[in-house]
């Protein structure tokens, strides 16, 4: 995205929208987070009796028609797009933006998603098998494209700037944040609706993760199943939801009197090039991504007040992330409070980075770190400060958000308080 504007403009966040298993909208989401309330429960979208894992972080009480008035358009959308549109409209409303005239041309949409459209395909495949090929929905191909999320948001908001999706597994939304940050910083765009969306609670997707033995199997106590960094963790919990943020050039936001949640200061992105599921045990490239983000932000390790961890609740990820933090922060690592939102909402895969970035910005807004719940048994390989079970009031000026994806993707964002 070439531009004649001067580079290195400041980029701030002025709007937040979130749809999650612990609340619709930023206020409900934050209250649940700070209270340590879990959204993990038995699956209701289908009968999970035959599955080794029978629970997830479902978004309940979500009525898409409240956000998408055109009935025909609504029926042509995969659930992932519905979640994306809803959270994008929340974010625009929260930012107080009136997208009219030339502003529509200078507004882009970048959305991260790993499996967008999978649910639509699975449902239509069932129709194909039961009723034949001519009975599937004629919009199946369009609804199942990964880019349908970004396109639907652009159409619903009427914005005509660049519109695309990013699919980098569990780091998708954080990578979307990095690209959005650079687009505004370079002067290519003035506004961006950025985030991630994922609707993954379908039989075929759940079965795939069950067979891979990646999920927790605590069917008798779902709310305690996601337990990042606790020694008795036994796998991640599948979640769904969306988180969208409005990014804006700082001077414009200041001049219009916008509320600013924080400033995006830096981004680092690397790939382990090691294995499709296992992180590099040495953590070299993940550590390099953190160091790149710190350098991009122009700050040192002594200035990070809080780390929002990727913290999946898998044995390998949590100990590796701990080791990487120690590698980068050295003797200061034990002094930095760290927490994992997945303990309450599960793993939103492609949407995890943006929903957790929203949590990070709200923590900075309220100067309070939400806890890592279900932390019950200390692990000698996970021996840092994970803010266990109860929120903590802490001064937060600068925070780091970690995202690590299948295939060795590493994406780090740093945000600061204005």
Active site residues per annotation: 170, 310, 347
Residue with tokens 């932390």: 375
Alpha-carbon distance of 79 to 241, in angstroms, equals: 10
- Using an 8 Å Cβ cutoff, are 260 and 417 in contact? no
- Using an 8 Å Cβ cutoff, are 324 and 144 in contact? no
- The β-bridge partners of 336 are none
Indicate the helix (H) or strand (E) that contains 320.
helix 315-329
Q: How many CB atoms lie within 10 A of CB 3?
A: 11
Indicate the helix (H) or strand (E) that contains 178.
helix 172-185
Helix (H, G, I), strand (E, B) or coil at 144: helix
Question: With 0-12 CB in 10 A as exposed, 13-18 as middle and 19+ as buried, what is 73?
Answer: middle
Helix (H, G, I), strand (E, B) or coil at 67: coil
Bridge-based pairing state of the strands 338-339 and 398-405 = unpaired
Indicate the helix (H) or strand (E) that contains 409.
strand 409-416
Question: Positive or negative, the Cα torsion across 369, 348, 171, 3?
Answer: negative
Alpha-carbon distance of 411 to 397, in angstroms, equals: 21
Termini Cα distance of the chain: 27
- Using an 8 Å Cβ cutoff, are 341 and 33 in contact? yes
Alpha-carbon distance of 25 to 33, in angstroms, equals: 12
DSSP letters for 302-352:
GG--EEE----S-HHHHHHHHHHHHHHHGGGGGGS-EE-THHHH-B-GGGH
- Using an 8 Å Cβ cutoff, are 120 and 144 in contact? yes
Alpha-carbon distance of 313 to 215, in angstroms, equals: 9
E runs forming strands in 53-161: 55-56, 107-112
């Amino acid at each position: 995205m070439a531009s004649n504007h001067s580079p290195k403009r400041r980029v701030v966040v002025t709007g937040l929208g979130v749809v999650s298993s612990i609340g619709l909208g930023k206020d409900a989401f934050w209250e649940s987070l700070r209270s340590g309330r879990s959204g993990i429960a038995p699956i209701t979208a289908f009968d999970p009796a035959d599955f080794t894992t029978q629970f997830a972080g479902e978004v309940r009480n979500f009525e898409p028609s409240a956000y998408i008035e055109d009935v025909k358009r609504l029926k042509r959308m995969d659930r992932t797009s519905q979640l994306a549109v809803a959270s994008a409209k929340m974010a625009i409303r929260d930012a107080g933006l009136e997208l009219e005239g030339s502003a529509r041309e200078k507004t882009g949409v970048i959305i991260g998603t790993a499996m967008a459209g999978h649910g639509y395909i699975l449902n239509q495949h069932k129709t194909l098998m039961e009723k034949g090929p001519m009975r599937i929905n004629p919009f199946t191909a369009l609804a199942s494209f990964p880019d349908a999320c970004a396109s639907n948001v652009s159409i619903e908001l009427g914005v005509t700037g660049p519109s695309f999706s990013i699919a980098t597994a569990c780091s998708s939304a954080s990578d979307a944040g990095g690209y959005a940050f650079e687009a505004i910083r370079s002067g290519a765009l003035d506004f961006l609706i950025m985030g991630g969306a994922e609707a993954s609670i379908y039989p075929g997707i759940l079965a795939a993760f069950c067979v891979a033995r990646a999920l927790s199997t605590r069917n008798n106590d779902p709310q305690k199943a996601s337990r990042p960094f606790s020694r008795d963790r036994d796998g991640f919990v599948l979640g769904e939801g969306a988180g969208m943020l409005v990014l804006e050039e700082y001077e414009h936001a200041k001049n219009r009197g916008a509320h600013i949640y924080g400033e995006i200061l830096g981004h680092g992105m690397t790939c382990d090039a090691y294995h499709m599921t296992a992180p590099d045990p040495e953590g070299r490239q993940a550590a390099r991504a953190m160091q790149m983000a710190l350098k991009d932000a122009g700050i040192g390790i002594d200035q990070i007040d809080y780390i929002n961890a990727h913290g999946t609740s898998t044995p390998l990820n949590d100990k590796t992330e701990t080791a990487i933090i120690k590698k980068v922060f050295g003797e200061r690592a034990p002094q930095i409070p760290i927490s994992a939102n997945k303990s309450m909402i599960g793993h939103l895969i492609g949407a995890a980075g943006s929903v957790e970035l929203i949590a990070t910005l709200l923590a900075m807004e309220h100067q309070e770190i939400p806890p890592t719940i279900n932390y019950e048994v200390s692990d000698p390989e996970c021996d840092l400060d994970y803010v266990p079970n109860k929120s903590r009031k802490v001064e937060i000026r600068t925070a780091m958000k970690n995202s690590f994806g299948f295939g060795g993707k590493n994406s780090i964002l740093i945000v600061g308080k204005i």
